[in-house]
């Protein structure tokens, strides 16, 4: 007899992917105002990767993988984390956390176009409506005087767009790549590879490294929360939900995360929420809903957070 999913666990898991992942924009913003971007992101994922490997060993999973799988997890780690996440953290130096979350919520639009260009897949009618709404929402978002008048804001927008392209291509790559079947092992290698590459880039860029003991208290807390909750707890919750509920329900976090990020950025960092941003958010997220409403096309960003 098949055991019914635990309702309490499902609620906690949804809380994790809704609120915890939505809060990572705020946590990254707090930390990157004090720490170099690639050092910050690199340390986060290297430590998280090591902890995930330790959990995998405690659970009795084999960590050894083939050379081909190692190569593919390293490529995925670069696309998702080194570029996809590291560049976003860098961009947070120039744009508000809520703004970044809203721009990133348009990710399915880019993936849709990449699928059309690289794989020749047709864009369905519902998705075309979503693309049109998405472009309107993005235009309203980035055309605000409050957004483009901030120093470095245009650079931040471009950086986020480049990171979204990397994430989009990575989404297509992992769909066909030979990767470890166990998600703990797979994620551990991606996080470790992506984190090490970020630390190498940090050294190459000449970022100034400091001891965690020298960080301010709020940055220390932010890093711990990012590692334990943003990287491990929320990801475990995500994979649990994929097993017990439909992917469409799990994908609803793509609509909730930006709202959480906007509210937290406004409350803790006094980031301004304009009426135009609210309208842009509604139109943009409606467009994303239309794109994700087709069962054949459900995209969710596991490591962007």
Tell me whether residue 19 is in a domain: yes
In a domain, residue 4? The reply is no
Range with top average pLDDT, 102-111, 192-201, 241-250 = 192-201
- Residue 161: how many CB atoms within 10 A of its CB? 17
pLDDT at 224: 96
CA distance 134 to 106: 7
In-domain check, residue 297: no
301, part of any domain = no
Is the pLDDT confidence value at 254 over 90? no
Q: Where does residue 204 rank: exposed (0-12), middle (13-18), buried (19+ CB within 10 A)? A: exposed
Average pLDDT over residues 286-291: 83
Region 156-173: what's the mean pLDDT?
Answer: 90
Residues 150 and 95 sit within 8 Å (Cβ to Cβ): yes
The parent domain of residue 72 ranges over 10-292
Give the model confidence (pLDDT) of 47-71 as tens digits: 999 999 999 999 998 999 999 999 9
pLDDT at residue number 248: 61
Going by pLDDT thresholds of 50, 70 and 90, the confidence category of residue 109 is confident
> How many structural domains are present in the chain?
1
Flag whether 280 is in a domain: yes
Confidence at 77, pLDDT banded by 50, 70, 90 = very high
Instruction: Tell whether the model's pLDDT for residue 83 goes beyond 90.
Output: yes
Whether 145 is covered by a domain: the verdict is: yes
Name the average pLDDT for the chain.
Answer: 87
Where is pLDDT greater, at 245 or 42?
42
| Ordered alpha helix ranges (H), the chain | 7-15, 21-32, 37-58, 67-77, 86-91, 97-104, 107-119, 125-142, 145-148, 153-176, 183-205, 217-225, 234-244, 247-250, 253-269, 275-292
- Cα–Cα–Cα angle for 54, 243, 177, nearest 5°? 70
246 assigned to some structural domain: yes
DSSP tag of 95: S
Inter-axis angle of helices 37-58 and 217-225, nearest 10? 40
Tokens of residue 127, six digits: 């998705």
Assess whether pLDDT exceeds 80 at residue 196. Answer: yes
pLDDT band for position 163 (cuts 50, 70, 90): very high
Mean pLDDT within 178-192: 88
Class of residue 267 by CB neighbours under 10 A (exposed 0-12, middle 13-18, buried 19+): exposed
Whether residue 2 lies inside any domain: the answer is no
- 259 vs 252 pLDDT, higher one: 259
The predicted-structure confidence for 28-40, as pLDDT tens digits, reads as follows 999 999 999 999 9
Find, among 24, 7, 5, the residue nearest to 303 by Cα. 24
Q: pLDDT band for position 302 (50/70/90)?
A: very low
CA-closest candidate to residue 24, choices 253, 285, 288, 260: 260
What are phi and psi for residue 35, nearest 5 degrees? -110, 155
């Amino acid at each position: 007899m098949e055991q019914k999913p635990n309702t309490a666990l499902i609620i906690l898991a949804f809380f994790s992917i809704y609120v915890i992942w939505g809060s990572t924009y705020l946590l990254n913003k707090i930390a990157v105002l004090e720490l170099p971007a690639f050092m910050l992101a690199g340390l986060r994922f290297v430590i998280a990767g090591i902890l995930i490997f330790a959990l995998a060993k405690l659970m009795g999973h084999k960590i050894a993988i083939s050379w081909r799988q190692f190569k593919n997890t390293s490529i995925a780690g670069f696309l998702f984390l080194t570029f996809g996440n590291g560049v976003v953290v860098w961009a947070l130096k120039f744009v508000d956390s809520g703004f970044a979350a809203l721009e990133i919520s348009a990710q399915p639009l880019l993936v849709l176009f990449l699928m059309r260009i690289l794989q020749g897949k047709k864009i369905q009618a519902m998705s075309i409506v979503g693309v049109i709404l998405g472009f309107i929402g993005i235009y309203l978002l980035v055309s605000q005087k409050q957004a483009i008048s901030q120093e470095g804001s245009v650079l931040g927008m471009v950086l986020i767009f480049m990171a979204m392209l990397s994430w989009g291509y990575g989404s297509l790559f992992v769909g066909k790549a030979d990767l470890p079947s166990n998600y703990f092992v797979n994620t551990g290698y991606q996080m470790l590879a992506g984190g090490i590459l970020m630390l190498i880039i940090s050294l190459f860029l000449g970022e100034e490294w400091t001891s965690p003991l020298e960080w301010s208290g709020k940055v220390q807390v932010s890093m711990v929360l990012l590692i334990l909750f943003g990287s491990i707890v929320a990801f475990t919750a995500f994979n649990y939900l994929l097993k017990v509920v439909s992917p469409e329900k799990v994908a609803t976090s793509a609509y909730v995360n930006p709202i959480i990020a906007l509210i937290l950025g406004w409350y803790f960092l006094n980031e301004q929420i304009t009426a135009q941003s609210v309208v842009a958010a509604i139109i943009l997220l409606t467009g994303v809903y239309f794109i994700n409403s087709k069962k054949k096309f459900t995209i969710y960003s596991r490591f962007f957070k």
